[in-house]
Chain A
Amino acid sequence: MLRYLIILLAVLAPLNASAISPEEVMKSSQAAFLYQGKDFKARVTMRLLSSAGSERIRELTMLRKNFGAAGSEQKYFIYFYQPADVKDMTFMVYKRPGKESDRWLFVPALNMVRRIAARDKSSSFAGSDFTYEDVSGRNTEDDTHVITKEEKLGPSDCYVVKSAPKAGDMDYSYKVSWIDKKSFLPLKEEYYDKRDELYRIFTADEIKEIKGFPTVTKRTMKNLQSGHSTEAAFTRVDYNMGVDDSLFSERYLKNPPKKWIE
C-alpha cells in the first residue's frame, strides 16, 4: 500500500511542484537552509580574497539553536579562532523575525561584553563578503517573490525566484535565487544593484548530507564590483546535539565551554 502511495506521489509531484507558490518555495528554502534540525554546529573557515589577490582567514565555530519553527526566533553563538589577535573573542546573536537582531560581543582585551546594534542588512559578517543577513537569513515576508521560471542548474531542477524587497532600504534592488526542487537549498543567488546590474553572486559549491540533512558545506560570495570574494567551508558539521539554552548568555560569552566550541 505504502508503495503505491509513493508511486502516486511521485507521479503527482511535478504537478504539485508547478502549483507551489513562490512564497512557499522561499519559506521551504529558508527552513532547509537555515532552520534544519533543532540545533546546529560547524567549524567555519572563511577565505577572504581581495581583488589584488591577497587572502585573509577567518576561522570560527558557529552554534545555532532554533526556538520555534522556520522563520521564528534563533540564537547564534560564535567563537573566533582566527585571526590570531581576536582568538577567544566570542559573539552572540539573538535573531528575532521582523526586528533588528541583538548582538553581544566579548572583547578579550578589555575583558568586557558589549551589546552591539548594527544593521543586519548591509553590515559585513566578520569583514567577509557575506552580510549578517546572508548568514542568518532574511524574513521572507519582507520581499515580494515571483517564480520567473523553472530550469536546470547543473544536474538539479530549480525554481528561479525573483525577490524584491518591499522597502527600498536595501543595497540591492532585487535578488534572483535558484532553489533546488528536491532539497530546497539555494544553489545560486544573484543580487542586482539599483542600476539593475548584477553585482553579487552566491553559489553553493558543495552539498553534503549530514544526519539526513542536506547541508551546504562550501559556499562562495563574490562581489563583482569590488572584485572581493569570500569562500566559506563548513567542517565538523553536526545537528541535534542538544545545546542548552543557557549557552546563549553573557556568562558563557566570557568563558565559552570547550565542549561546544571545538
Chain B
Amino acid sequence: MKHKFSLVEFSVDHPRLIVSIAIIITIAFLTQFAKLKTDTNPKNMLPANSDVRVWNDEVEKTFGLYEDMIVVGVVNEAGVLNKGTLGKISRITDEAFRIKGVAARDVASFPTITNVTAAAGVLKVAPLMTQVPKSDEETAVLRRDLFDNPLYINRIISKDGKTTAIYIPLEKGANGKEIADRLKDIVNKEGGPEKYYVAGDPVARDTFGAEMFKLMAIFAPIAGAVMLLVRYLMFRDIFLSVTLMMDAMITVIWSMGLLIALGFPIHIMSSMAPVFLMAIATDSIHIFNEFYFRYKDKKDKRAAIIETMHAVGRPVRFTALATAVGFGVLLFMNIVPVKIFGGLVAFGTVILRVLSFSFIPAMFTFVKAEKMEEASKDEDITSSKTSQFLKRLAGYGADKPKATVIVGLVFVIIAVMGISRIVVNNNMVEWFKPNSEIRKADTVINSSLGGTSLAYIVATSGEDEYIKTPEAMRHIEGLQKHLEKLSVVGKTSSVVDYVKRINLVLHDNDPKYDIVPDAKGAIGQYLFLFGMSAKPSDLDNVIDNQSRKANVWVQLKTWDVDAMRQVIKAADDYTKTHPSRLELKPAGIAYFNLVWNDEVLWDMLKGFIIALLVIFVILAFNFHSVKWAIVGYIPLLFTILLIYGVVGFAGKDFDMPISVLSCLSLGMAVDFAIHFISRFKGRLAEARAEGKTFDNALLKEALLWTAARPGKGIMRNAVLFASAFSVMLFAPLTPYITVGAFIVSMMILSAVFTMIYLPALIVLWRGWLFKKEA
C-alpha cells in the first residue's frame, strides 16, 4: 500500500519523467511489431502432437488422404449434362490442376473420376469423361454412365442432374482462402448461365482467419474512436479523454509487443486481446470520476490526485486483480492459444493498473486548473441527472428489498431453464452470415449433393487380408446402410462399393450380382483387377496395403459438430448389435472439429468455473469477509445466469466466441461490485469516524451516496464499454455480432443489477452483515 502510494506521489512530482519513460517503452515495444507473425488456422489450437491430430495424420498416411478439401459446386437449372456446361467443368478442372497447393492427382471431377463399365463383353476402366461430348449421343452415354453408377449419385451428380461438384483436395499447409479465391476467379471467367459455389471447411476456416484480422484492424480503431467520443461527452475535456485512450493504447502495444518479441504468432484468440484490453482499460474511469468530484471539493490539483488514488486505489487494485486472475487461470488450461490469450490479457491488466498509478496521475498534472474547473462543474451528486437517476435506482432496491429479490429469483428460475437448453456446438461455416457467399455455397451443395463435410470411419482388423473376406465386406456394407439412415449423412462410400461394382460389371450388369461375392478369392481378384486399371489412389483411399483396414467415407450435410457425434454413436450402436472383428474408429476433418470443439470449449468452460471460484476468494480477501463476498457475488452470478439464459432461449450454440466471453464477463462484472461495496464501506467508516451512530437511516444514506457518486463511475464505465462494443453489432461475421451483443447487454445489466441488488441485499441482510455494528 505504502509503496503504491509513493508511486502516485512520485508520478505527480515527476510527471514528465513518467510520461517519457512510458513513451520510450512503448516505442521499444512498437519496434517488435515488425516481427509480427500470424497464424489464422483455428486447427492449431490443438497442438500437432495432440491425439486427434496424430491419429488423423496416421489415417491420412495409411489411405493417402488429404486433410482438407474444397468443393466447387456447379449448378445449371437446365441440367449440367450439356456440351456447354461440361466444357466449363472440364476447363475448370484443368485450371484447378495448375493452382499451387492443389493435390492435382486426386482432384475428383467428371474428367478425372474413374469409371468402370461393361459393354459388349468388354470391361472398360477409364475416367468418366475423357473428352467433352461432341454429340447428343455422347452426352446420353455420359448420362447413362453417371446414373448407372451408385458411386456417383450424390457425389458428383445430384439426383436431378442439375448439380455437379469438383472435389479439390489440398496439399498440407495450403491456404484454403487463397485457393478458393483463385477458383472463384476461374469460375467467374467461365460465367453463366451456370452458378458456381466454392465451399468447404478450409474455405470457411481460412477466410474467417483472414477476415478476423482485417476486422480487428478496422474494429479496434473504430471502437477506440467511439470510446474517445463518449469520454469527451462525459468529461468535456479532450486532453483527459486522450489520456484515457493513451492508457489503453500503451497497454495494447506493450502486451502485443511482448507477445511478438517472445516469438509467438498472433493467433485468432490473441488477436482479440487488444479489444479486450481496451475494454478493461475503461476501469480507470473510476479514477477520473472520483478525481473530478474531489477536485470540486478541494480545488487543489495535487491533493485531489493523491486523495483520489487513496480512495479508489484499493478497489481499482482489487478489480484489476480479479480481472487478471479471471484471465490468468486460463494459463493453467491445456490448449496453448488459450493459455497465451489468458496470459496476454492478464499481463495487460497488470500493466493497466501500473499505469493507473503512474501515467494517469502524471497526466493529470498537465491539465490546466481552469479547464478542470470547467469540467468538474457538473460533478455534483445533487445536481447531476445521472446521479439522481442512480439514486432512485438504489433507493428502489433499498426500499423494497424483498420484492426486488423475489423478482430476481423469478428471473433466475427462467434463466436456468434457458441455460438447460444450451447446446455446446461449433460450426465454422455458421460464423458467416446466412446470406454470405460461403454459407450459401455450403447450403446449396449440402442440399443437392452428399455434403461438404467429410468424416471417415476406419474399420481395423487385427489380421492381414481380413478386409477382403466376405464377412468383413458385409459388415462394412451394413455399417454404411446404418449410417445412411441418419439425416445428417448424405453419402457413404467404401471399398465394398467398388467390389460390388466390379462384381456387377463382370457379370454383364446382371443386377443379381450387385452384391458382395461369397469367396475371398474373388474379392481379392476384383480389387486387383480394379487396381490394375484405375488410378492408384482409388483403392488406396479406401483400403490399406495389408488389407487390415478399410476406410469408409462419410459425407455430412452440415458442419455442426453434433452431426459427427451422431455418426459416432450410430457406429457404436452398430458395433453393439453386430459384433465383429472389425474395430470402428472415427477420423477426418469433421471428427477433428468435434474433438476441437470439445477440447477447446470444455477447456474454456473449465477455466471459467475455476475463475468463478478464485474470484470469490479474492472478493472474500478484499472485503475481509465471506459474507460480503457472497453479497458482491450475487449481481455477477445473476448477470451471467441471465445472459446464458437468453443464449439458451435464443437457440444460440455455446461456441468458441461465447466461451471466450464467459471469462471476460466474469472479470468485468465483478468490478462493479468491488467498487460499490468498497466505496460503500468506506463511506460508512468515514461516517462512523465522524461519530454518527449506525442505524437504518445512515445505512440508506450511505447506499444512496455510493450509487450517486462511485455509482456514476460504474455507469460511465458500463456505458463507455457498451458503446465501444456496440460497433461490433455491425460486423459481417456472426461471432463479432455475438460478442458485441453479449458485452453490451452484460455491461448494462451488471451495472443496473449492481445498483439495484446490492442495496436490496445489503438492506435485507443488514442484521447478518453488520452483526458487530448492531
Q: Which residues of A contact B (CB under 8 A)?
A: 48, 50-52, 54-56, 83, 85-86, 89, 91, 105, 107-110, 112, 114-119, 122-129, 169, 171, 193-195, 199, 225-226, 228
Name 18 interchain pairs, CB-CB below 8 A, sorted by A.
Answer: A50-B64, A86-B524, A86-B528, A107-B506, A107-B526, A107-B529, A114-B506, A116-B122, A116-B123, A118-B124, A119-B126, A119-B127, A123-B532, A123-B535, A124-B536, A193-B104, A194-B104, A225-B104
B712 part of interface (Cβ distance < 8 Å) = no
Contact B536 A129 (CB under 8 A): yes
Digitize B509-537: 1 where CB-to-A-CB distance is under 8 Å, 0 elsewhere.
00000000101111011101101111111
Contact A195 B98 (CB under 8 A): yes
Contact B126 A52 (CB under 8 A): no
Cβ–Cβ < 8 Å partners of B121 in chain A: 114-115
A161 nearest CB across to chain B (Å):
24
Contact B105 A115 (CB under 8 A): no
Q: Among the listed B97, B525, B540, which residue makes an inter-chain contact with A193, where contact means beta carbons less than 8 Å apart?
A: B97
A56 nearest CB across to chain B (Å):
5
Interface centre among B130, B519, B532, B533 (most CB of A within 10 A): B532
Ranked nearest first, the 7 interchain pairs of A and B with the lowest CB-CB distance are: A85-B524, A109-B522, A127-B531, A52-B61, A118-B533, A118-B125, A117-B124
Q: In whole angstroms, how far apart are the Cα atoms of A194 and B536 in the complex?
A: 19
Cβ–Cβ < 8 Å partners of B32 in chain A: none
Contact B535 A124 (CB under 8 A): yes
Cβ–Cβ < 8 Å partners of A119 in chain B: 125-127, 130
B527 nearest CB across to chain A (Å):
9
Cβ–Cβ < 8 Å partners of B477 in chain A: none
A249 nearest CB across to chain B (Å):
16
Cβ–Cβ < 8 Å partners of A56 in chain B: 545
Given A50-B64, A52-B61, A127-B531, A117-B125 contact (CB < 8 Å): yes
Contact A117 B122 (CB under 8 A): yes
Q: In whole angstroms, how far apart are the Cα atoms of A123 and B531 in the complex?
A: 9
Output the nearest chain B residue to A109 by Cβ-Cβ distance.
Answer: B522
A120 nearest CB across to chain B (Å):
10
B329 part of interface (Cβ distance < 8 Å) = no
Contacts A114-B506, A195-B100 aside, 6 further interface pairs with beta carbons under 8 A come to: A85-B520, A85-B525, A107-B529, A116-B124, A122-B535, A124-B535
Contact A171 B105 (CB under 8 A): yes
Cβ–Cβ < 8 Å partners of A122 in chain B: 127, 535
Output the nearest chain A residue to B131 by Cβ-Cβ distance.
Answer: A169
Contact A225 B103 (CB under 8 A): yes
Cβ–Cβ < 8 Å partners of B536 in chain A: 124, 127-129, 226, 228
Cβ–Cβ < 8 Å partners of B745 in chain A: none
Q: In whole angstroms, how far apart are the Cα atoms of A110 and B508 in the complex?
A: 13
Cβ–Cβ < 8 Å partners of A52 in chain B: 61-62
Given A108-B525, A110-B522, A124-B545 contact (CB < 8 Å): no
Q: In whole angstroms, how far apart are the Cα atoms of A119 and B533 in the complex?
A: 8
Interface centre among B104, B531, B533 (most CB of A within 10 A): B533
Cβ–Cβ < 8 Å partners of B528 in chain A: 83, 85-86, 89, 126-127
Interface of A is mostly: loop
Q: Among the listed A85, A108, A169, A171, which residue makes an inter-chain contact with B130, where contact means beta carbons less than 8 Å apart?
A: A169
Output the nearest chain A residue to B540 by Cβ-Cβ distance.
Answer: A50
B294 part of interface (Cβ distance < 8 Å) = no
B465 part of interface (Cβ distance < 8 Å) = yes
B497 part of interface (Cβ distance < 8 Å) = no
Q: How large is the interface on B (under 10, 10 to 19, 20 to 34, 35 or more residues)?
A: 35 or more
Taking CB atoms and an 8 Å cut-off, the chain B residues in 525-575 that contact chain A are: 525-526, 528-529, 531-537, 539-540, 544-546
Output the nearest chain A residue to B61 by Cβ-Cβ distance.
Answer: A52
B468 part of interface (Cβ distance < 8 Å) = yes
B609 nearest CB across to chain A (Å):
42
A222 nearest CB across to chain B (Å):
13
Taking CB atoms and an 8 Å cut-off, the chain B residues in 118-139 that contact chain A are: 121-127, 130
Given A83-B524, A85-B525, A115-B121, A194-B532 contact (CB < 8 Å): no
Given A109-B525, A127-B539, A117-B123 contact (CB < 8 Å): yes
A197 nearest CB across to chain B (Å):
8
Q: Among the listed A48, A83, A85, A116, which residue makes an inter-chain contact with B533, where contact means beta carbons less than 8 Å apart?
A: A116
Cβ–Cβ < 8 Å partners of A123 in chain B: 125, 532-535
Interface centre among A86, A91, A127, A194 (most CB of B within 10 A): A127
Cβ–Cβ < 8 Å partners of A195 in chain B: 97-100, 104
Q: In whole angstroms, how far apart are the Cα atoms of A54 and B105 in the complex?
A: 21
Digitize B87-103: 1 where CB-to-A-CB distance is under 8 Å, 0 elsewhere.
00000001001111001
Interface centre among B62, B94, B529 (most CB of A within 10 A): B529
Q: In whole angstroms, how far apart are the Cα atoms of A85 and B539 in the complex?
A: 16
Given A105-B529, A127-B532, A226-B537, A50-B98 contact (CB < 8 Å): no
B129 nearest CB across to chain A (Å):
12
Cβ–Cβ < 8 Å partners of B126 in chain A: 117-119
Cβ–Cβ < 8 Å partners of B98 in chain A: 194-195
Q: In whole angstroms, how far apart are the Cα atoms of A164 and B520 in the complex?
A: 44
Interface centre among B126, B130, B517, B528 (most CB of A within 10 A): B528
Q: In whole angstroms, how far apart are the Cα atoms of A51 and B64 in the complex?
A: 8
Given A116-B125, A117-B125, A225-B105 contact (CB < 8 Å): yes
Cβ–Cβ < 8 Å partners of B525 in chain A: 85-86, 89, 107-110
Cβ–Cβ < 8 Å partners of A169 in chain B: 130
Cβ–Cβ < 8 Å partners of A125 in chain B: 532
Q: In whole angstroms, how far apart are the Cα atoms of A122 and B107 in the complex?
A: 14
Taking CB atoms and an 8 Å cut-off, the chain B residues in 70-115 that contact chain A are: 94, 97-100, 103-105
A152 nearest CB across to chain B (Å):
32
Output the nearest chain A residue to B64 by Cβ-Cβ distance.
Answer: A226
Given A50-B64, A195-B104, A226-B105, A114-B123 contact (CB < 8 Å): yes
